[in-house]
Amino acid sequence: MPYYTEEQIKQARLIDLMTYLQTYEPTELVHVRGNTWCLREHDSLKLSNGKWFWWSRGFGGTSALDYLIKVKGLPFIEAMDILTDKSRDFQLETLRIFNRDNSNTERKLLLPEKCGTNLEVIRYLTGRGIDREIIRDCINEGLLYESLPYHNCIFVGYDETGKAAYACYRATNGERIMGDAAGSEKRYAFRVESKGGSSRVLHTFESAVDLLSFATIMKMQTGNWRAEPMLSLGGVYAPSPNRPNMKIPAALDNALQNHPEVKTIALHLDNDYAGRSAAKSIAEQLQDRYEIRNEPPPSGKDCNDFLMIIRQRNRSRQMGAAGYEHPR
């Protein structure tokens, strides 16, 4: 394994994100206004005055090293390899080829390689309280799979023709590593259609894990987890003070255009500032055309937190019924 000295790490941290992107990934840069830019892949990640901030995730930084680790999900050593001469020539040639092949307006989704099994994905998601049958259904329908070489969860979204057009990844090893696959079109974010139920109510969530958590709760409560369609927005961000109304998330806007039968939008966004602010902004912009139900989880930060609370309560009741007592 390569070893980097403190001086090498210090030098790598001096490389700002704008310089890195202009050199290696120029097609990722999209001009917003003035000296503000965003990323083509993550439009809520803004760059300005030498700093960057990913509004939908609530964190930022200054260096390209932070970006490669926190946004791209690279291990520290691999990120350092990219920013040092060790792999500079290889990276330059790889990115030249990538940028040349993707210089046209059509974006090509780069799906991670599939693993032969989905054992780590099932282990991770059931560990988050999500129902095993729901996981299996998503795998069988091509909505979810396990990737190589890192065994991440890959959640897939499809366009109107049934072609994969979006994918997001989430680490299964306990690290908070997540993001969208290169070439993803946010308007086709992860979605689960209804089966045998109504399409008049659209349930929306910040992430795929929250969506599956809500589906699990619905199965526990009613036995039918696909009565109504569910849509992940792929993250939200809080509106800025000088722009109180954020843009309607691309995934929601596209879903409403393609599904005129939707009459009600249920917002199951997070119990934090970004989630509450986004829900308020969406409601204010759409309430004249749709019934808006603002339904954040009753407790916990998000739908998965709430699911885990329900699971723990059920376990406690079962232990009590069996004659067990919690240690005091």
CB atoms within 10 A of CB 41: 21
Which of 3.40.1160.10, 1.10.510.10, 3.40.50.300, 3.90.580.10 is the CATH number of 6-101? Answer: 3.90.580.10
**173 vs 7, residue with greater confidence:** 173
pLDDT (tens digit, 9 = 90+) per residue, 115-153? Answer: 999 999 999 999 999 999 999 999 999 999 999 888 999
Q: Residue 172 corresponds to which amino acid? A: T
Q: Which long-range contacts (CB under 8 A, 24 or more apart) does 3-12 make?
A: 4/77, 4/80, 4/84, 8/80, 8/84, 9/80, 12/63, 12/64, 12/65, 12/80, 12/83, 12/84
Cα dihedral 25, 28, 31, 35 sign: negative
Grade residue 304 by pLDDT with cuts at 50, 70 and 90.
very high
Q: At what angle do helices 208-222 and 303-321 cross, to 10 degrees?
A: 40
Q: Residue 217 corresponds to which amino acid? A: I
Give, in order, the Cα–Cα distances in Å from 74 to each of 29, 107, 280: 20, 23, 34
DSSP-based three-state secondary structure for 327: coil
Q: Are 95 and 25 in contact (CB under 8 A)?
A: yes
* Residue 245 in this model has a pLDDT that exceeds 90: no
Residues in the chain: 328
Q: Which two tokens stand for residue 282?
A: 């969406």
Of 27, 149, 12, 25, the closest CA to residue 81 belongs to 12
Beta pairing, strands 291-294 & 264-267? parallel
pLDDT (tens digit, 9 = 90+) per residue, 273-290? Answer: 889 999 999 999 999 999
What percent of the chain shows pLDDT beyond 90?
50
Q: Identify each DSSP E strand in 132-263 by its residue range.
A: 144-148, 153-158, 164-170, 178-180, 191-192, 201-205, 230-232
Using CA atoms, how far apart are residues 53 and 48, in angstroms rounded to an integer? 9
pTM above 0.85, yes or no: no
Q: Please report the pLDDT score of residue 251 as a whole number.
A: 95
CA dihedral 176, 133, 167, 296 (to 10 degrees): -60
| Burial class of residue 255 in the structure, from the number of CB atoms within 10 Å of its CB (0-12 exposed, 13-18 middle, 19+ buried) | buried
Give, in order, the Cα–Cα distances in Å from 119 to each of 111, 146, 173, 177: 19, 8, 13, 19
**Phi, psi angles (nearest 5°) of residue 43:** -70, -10
**Domain 6-101 shares a fold with domain 119-313:** no
Number of H helices, E strands in the chain: 11, 15
Which of 3.30.70.260, 3.40.1360.10, 2.40.40.20, 3.30.360.10 is the CATH number of 119-313? Answer: 3.40.1360.10
Grade residue 42 by pLDDT with cuts at 50, 70 and 90.
confident
pLDDT (tens digit, 9 = 90+) per residue, 150-182? Answer: 899 999 999 999 999 999 989 898 877 777 777
Domain boundaries, the chain: 6-101, 119-313
Beta pairing, strands 291-294 & 59-61? unpaired
Average pLDDT over residues 211-218: 98
